[in-house]
Structure 1
Amino acid sequence: MADPNLDSDRFPPSLWAATTAAAVSTAPLPPGMHFADLLVIGAGFTGMSAALRAAERGSRVVVLEAAEIGWGASGRNNGQVIPAMTRADPDAIVAEYGVEKGEALVSLIGESANTVFDLARRHRMECGAVQAGWIQPAHRASRLGLARSRVEQWRRRGVEAELLGRDRTAELTGSSFWYGGWQNMTGGHLNPLAFVRGLARAAQDAGACIHTRTPVSSLTRQGAHWVAAHGDARVQARRVLIATHSYTGRPARAPWPGIADALLPMRSYQMATQPLPAHLRASILPHDHAMSDTQSDLHFARFDRNGRLVTGGALVVPFGYKDRLRRRIGARVRRMFPQLDGLPLRFEYLWHGDFAVTPDRMPRFAKLDDGLYTWYGCNGRGVALSTAVGAELADVALSGDERGSRLPFSTLRPIAAHAIVERLAIGAMLYYRWKDRRD
C-alpha cells in the first residue's frame, strides 16, 4: 500500500488534518500572463508569512504552490514554537556571521516565538495557540553545563531565559526523568496546519493571490523581470522568493537548481495519543509547556487542546514504521512519564514529514541572482524561525537591500557528494543514540 504521507493529492492523515478548519478557497493559476511585485513559490510558513508582509505593505503578491497550503513540513510538524536553534547557539551564530549580522540574526531568532503568537492574536487565528513557555530539560547531568551556557548566552542578549534545577524541572514537566534544564517563557505550541492556513487567510485578505496545484515548470530571467511558467500560465515579477525548503523538488521539480543539494531532508515522525484522563493530563506538563530535551534522538511532547499527548521520534530504517514506532515511542513515553503505566495508551494518529538540516546546523540565506532569494536550514525549529524569516525575506526582496537586512546573505552552499552524505546522515542516528547514553 502506498504511504499516504507521500501522496501530494491529499494531506497526510494527521491529527492536524483531522482537526483543522478548511483552508481558504484557492485554484490553479489560470492561463495567460499575470503580474506581481513579488512572486512567492511555496505556501508554507515562510511563503505565507512573506506574502502577508508584502501584501500588507501594498505590494502585488502572487503565491504559487505545487500541492496545497501547508502540505509540506509546515502542516506536518509537532507544532512547538521554539525561539532557539537546535545546536547553533547565539555565540556560535555570531562567530559564524560576524558581530553585526550575527547579533541581528540572533535577535530575530530570540523574537521569533513572539512573532508567531502576535500574528495568531492579531489575525484571530483559531490555531490552538498556547504561549505558556518552552522547556528544554537535560537528559543527563553532563548536559546541565549546556543548559547553563544557553541561559547565559541568551540572558546576555536580554532574553529572559531561566535555568532550572532538578526539582523545578520535575515540577514543570511532571517527571523526575530529567536532571534540570532551562526554559524560555516566550515559547509555546499550536496547531501548525491551522496556523499556516491562518497566515494564508490573512495574506489573501490583504490582497495576495494564492494559487495551489500550480507547480512551476520553469523560472527564467527576462530583462528586468522574472517569469515563472505553469503550462499556459505565466507570472512576471520583479522579485522572487523560493520558499520550498525541505520539500524542494517534491512534489514538483525544483524551481531553481542547487537548492536541494544544499540541505539534507530528515524525516520526523509525529504521533498523538487518545485524550488522556483529566488526572493524568494534569500531572504531565501541568503548566502546558512545549518540551523537547537535549538528546539528539529527541524526546519531545506537548498537549493539544483536547488533552492528546503529541509526541514522536525518529527511525533509521522506515520499513514497518507504524508498528515499530507505536512500540518504541510508547515505551519511551512511559519512561518519561511513569504515571502512564497501567493506562492502555493508544496512538490514534501517526504521520511523518521532512525538515531541512544543514551539516553545521546553521540557517543559511541565499541570494541566487538579482531579485531572487531563498533560505534553508530550519534544523527542526521551523515554526518560529520560518515565520520570522518569511517577513524579513519579503522586506529584503522588495527593497533589494541585503546589507540592511537582519539576514546574512551568501551564495548557495551545495553539500559535496550530497547523495552519499544524505544516506550517511540517516544512519548517523545510531551514533547519536549511542552518544546520548554517554554524554
Structure 2
Amino acid sequence: MQMATTTSNIPGNVQWPQSLWAAQTPPGPDCPTLEGSAHADVVVIGAGFTGLSTALHLREAGVDVAIVEAIEPGWGASGRNNGQVIPTLSRPDPDDIVARHGAAGERFVAVLRDSAAALFDTVRRYGIEAEQEQAGWVQPVHSPGRIKIAERRFKQWSTFGADVELLSREQVRDMLGSNAWYGGFWNKTGGHINPLALARGLARTVLGLGARIYARSPVIDFERRGDRWVVRTEKGELSARALVLASNAYSGEFSKALAPDIAHEVMPVLSWQMATQPLSDNVRKSIIPARQAMSDTHGELYFARYDARNRLVTGGAVIGPGNKAERLKARVAERLQRLWPQIGEVSFDYVWNGYVGMTTDYMPRIHKLGPDAYGWTGCNGRAVALTMPLGAELAKAVRGVPENELALPFSEPVTIPAHALLRKLAPLMLLLYRQRDAREVS
C-alpha cells in the first residue's frame, strides 16, 4: 500500500493511503489559494462531484461561479470511492421517496432514475477521459429471502420507466460467474468510472468554461452580510449573491463552525476500498465477464468492479485496533476466493479509504440555508451518479427556478443526538450486520 503525504490541514493530521485512482490518474489542474477579497455571483463550497456539477451547469447558463475547496478537486469522498455508478438510493425505493416528499419526491425519483445516464452523457459531451464503462449495475441477493428486495425494486423502478430487469439465480450465475447468489436486480444504465479522473476532468472542464476554483483553502465559516453571502478562509474571503454548500461527509472535518447542523445530521463512516493485481485474461473472462458493477444485499456489503487495467476493485469493513489494512486484505481475499474459487491466490496492490456520509434513514438531506443558499448531505454510498443531476438542480435553484419545478425534496436539518459518541461507536454496527447476514443465509 502506498501512502500519501501528510499535510497540516488534512482532517486529523493523519496520513491517508494513496488510492488506485490517485496512482493511475494524471494530475488535476493547478488552482490558486483564496487570498484577499474576491467576488462572484455564486460561491460553491467543495470541489467534489456536487460542487463541480453545480459549477458546470451554472457556467453553461453563463453565470459567474467560484468554488472554494479545502484541499484539491476530488480529494475527498468523490475521488476515494469505488467508482460504481448506481442510479438508485442504497435502501429507499421510489415509493418510500414519494411517500415522504410528495410531488417533489416524484421529481427527485425521475432525476435519480436518469442519474447514471446523465453522468455518462456529461462525460461524452465534454470528452472527459475517466475510464468510463456503462455496462450496467447488478444487485445480486445473498439469500432466498432477500429476493423480495430485487422484486420490489424491479416493480417500483419499472413503474417509473427505468431500464431494469429482474434476474433469476441462473442469470446472475452467468452474469457474475458465481453460484453465491440467488437472483438479483439489474439496472442497465449504471456502470463504473475512475472517480478521481472524473473529478479532475470536471475541474478542467469548468475552468475551461470560465469558472474559478480556489484550492487548499478550507472554509472556516460563511454568513449573510446585507444581501451577500460571505465565505471566509484563513487567508481570504469571497462574497457572492448565492451560495451552495457541497461538502457532504466532510462538512465538519476542516472547521466545526462551517455548518454544524448539517455536519451533525450525517455520520461520516470510513469506507475501505482495495484493488487486486490485474487478473489474467482467462480468469477475468469467468468473473463478471461483461464487466458490470456489482454490489449485493449483505449488510456488510459485498461489491466489485473492474478498472481499466483488469484489477478487481472491491473493499470491505474492519473494526478494532491493529493493522486494519492487513487484516482487511486477509478477510477480503478469503471472501473473493469463496465467491469465485477460480480466482486463485489473491493479492492487493492498493488499499485506501475515505468517508461516506450516512444518514439514519439512508435518505439524502437537501436544505435551504437562507436567501439564495442551498446545501445537501447524506450520499449513503450513492454519490457518483446522484451528484451529477443534483448539481444541475442546485444550479437551477440559485438561478431562481421556482421550488415547485425543482427535483429537490427540501427538509430542515435534523441532527443526530450524541453525534460525537455515536461516531466512535458507529463501526460496531458491523457486528450487527454480520450477525443478521449470517442468520438470514443460514
Taking structure 1 as the reference length, the TM-score comes to 0.95
Which residues in structure 2 correspond to 1:30-429 (within 5 Å)? 30-31=35-36, 33-98=37-102, 100-317=103-320, 319-341=322-344, 343=345, 345-399=346-400, 401-429=402-430
The one-letter amino acid paired with 2:23 is A
Range 113-122 or range 414-423, more displaced? 414-423
Task: Kindly provide the amino acid, as one letter, of the partner of residue 436 in structure 1.
Answer: D
Please give the root-mean-square deviation of Cα atoms over the aligned residues, in Å.
1.7
Maintained 8 Å contact 1:368/1:412: no
Deviation at 1:219, TM superposition (A): 1.2
Per-residue Cα deviation, 1:96-128 (whole angstroms, up to 9, x for no partner): 112x11111111111110011011111111100
Q: CA deviation at 1:330?
A: 0.4
Q: Greater shift after overlay, 209-218 or 277-286?
A: 209-218
Deviations for 1:37-78, whole angstroms, at most 9, x for unmatched residues? 110000100000001111111111010001111111001000
Per-residue deviation, residues 399-423 of structure 1 (Å, max 9, x unmatched): 1633321111122111122223333
Greater shift, 290-299 or 4-13, is seen at 4-13
SS at match of 1:399: coil
Report the secondary structure of 1:130's partner residue. coil
Q: Which runs of 5+ in 1 are unaligned?
A: none
Q: Bigger shift: 419-428 or 263-272?
A: 419-428
How much has 1:129 moved relative to structure 2?
A: 0.2
In structure 1, what residue type is equivalent to 2:115?
S
Evaluate the alpha carbon distance shift between residue 318 and residue 126 of structure 1 in structure 2; reply closer, same or farther with a 3 A threshold: farther
Deviation at 1:132? 0.6
Retained in 2: the 8 A contact 1:284–1:337? yes
Distance 1:425 1:351 in 2: 19
With over 3 angstroms needed to count, the CA separation of the structure-2 counterparts of 1:59 and 1:152, relative to structure 1, is same
- Structure 1 stretches of 4+ with a deviation exceeding 6 A read none
Deviations 1:374-402 (A, max 9, x none): 11111111100122211211211221633
CA 1:254–1:51 in structure 2 vs 1: closer, same or farther (change >3 Å)?
Answer: farther
Normalised by the length of structure 2, the TM-score is 0.95
d(CA) in 2 for partners of 1:333, 1:202: 38
Return the alpha-carbon distance in structure 1 between the equivalents of residues 98 and 321 of structure 2: 37
SS of equivalent to 1:239: strand
Aligned residue for 1:410, secondary structure, equals coil
Q: Name the CA shift for 1:398/1:163 in 2 (closer, same or farther; >3 Å).
A: same
Going from structure 1 to structure 2, the CA distance change for 1:149 and 1:6 (only over 3 Å counts) comes to farther
SS at match of 2:41: strand
Q: Retained in 2: the 8 A contact 1:11–1:71? A: no
1:135–1:291 CA contact under 8 A, matched in 2: yes
Contact 1:177 1:336 (C-alpha < 8 Å) held by counterparts = yes
- Whether the aligned pair in 2 keeps the contact of 1:13 and 1:351 (CA below 8 Å) is yes
Deviation of residue 159 (structure 1)? Answer: 0.9
Q: Is the 8 A contact 1:5 1:352 kept in 2?
A: no
Given the alignment of the two structures, is residue 17 of structure 1 paired with residue 18 of structure 2, yes or no?
A: no
Q: Distance in 2 between matches of 1:30 and 1:80?
A: 36
Deviation at 1:281, TM superposition (A): 0.9
Question: C-alpha deviations, 1:275-323, integer Å up to 9, x for none?
Answer: 1111001111100100000111000000001110000011232641111
State the distance in 2 between where 1:227 and 1:27 align. 19
Deviation at 1:253, TM superposition (A): 4.4
> How much has 1:234 moved relative to structure 2?
2.1
Deviation sequence 1:153-196 (CA, Å, 0-9, x none): 00011112100001110110011111110101100001000001
Paired residue secondary structure (1:403): helix
**Matched residue of 1:259: which SS?**
helix
Q: 1:174 & 1:27 partners in 2: Cα distance?
A: 48
Tell me, yes or no, if the aligned pair for 1:402 and 1:409 is still in contact at 8 Å: no
Distance 2:303 2:6 in 1: 24
Give the counterpart letter for 2:215 in structure 1. Answer: T
Find the aligned partners of 1:46 and 1:6 in 2 and give their Cα distance. 26
Say if 1:289 and 1:45 are closer, same or farther in 2 by CA, change over 3 A: same
Aligned-residue offset at 1:436: 1.1
Distance 2:290 2:3 in 1: 36
Paired residues of 2:34 and 2:235 also in contact (CA < 8 A) = no
Report the CA distance between 1:248 and its aligned residue.
1.1
- Corresponding residue for residue 435 of structure 1: 436
Contact 2:266 2:359 in 1 (8 A): yes
Amino acid at match of 2:42: L
Distance 1:413 1:400, change over 3 A: farther
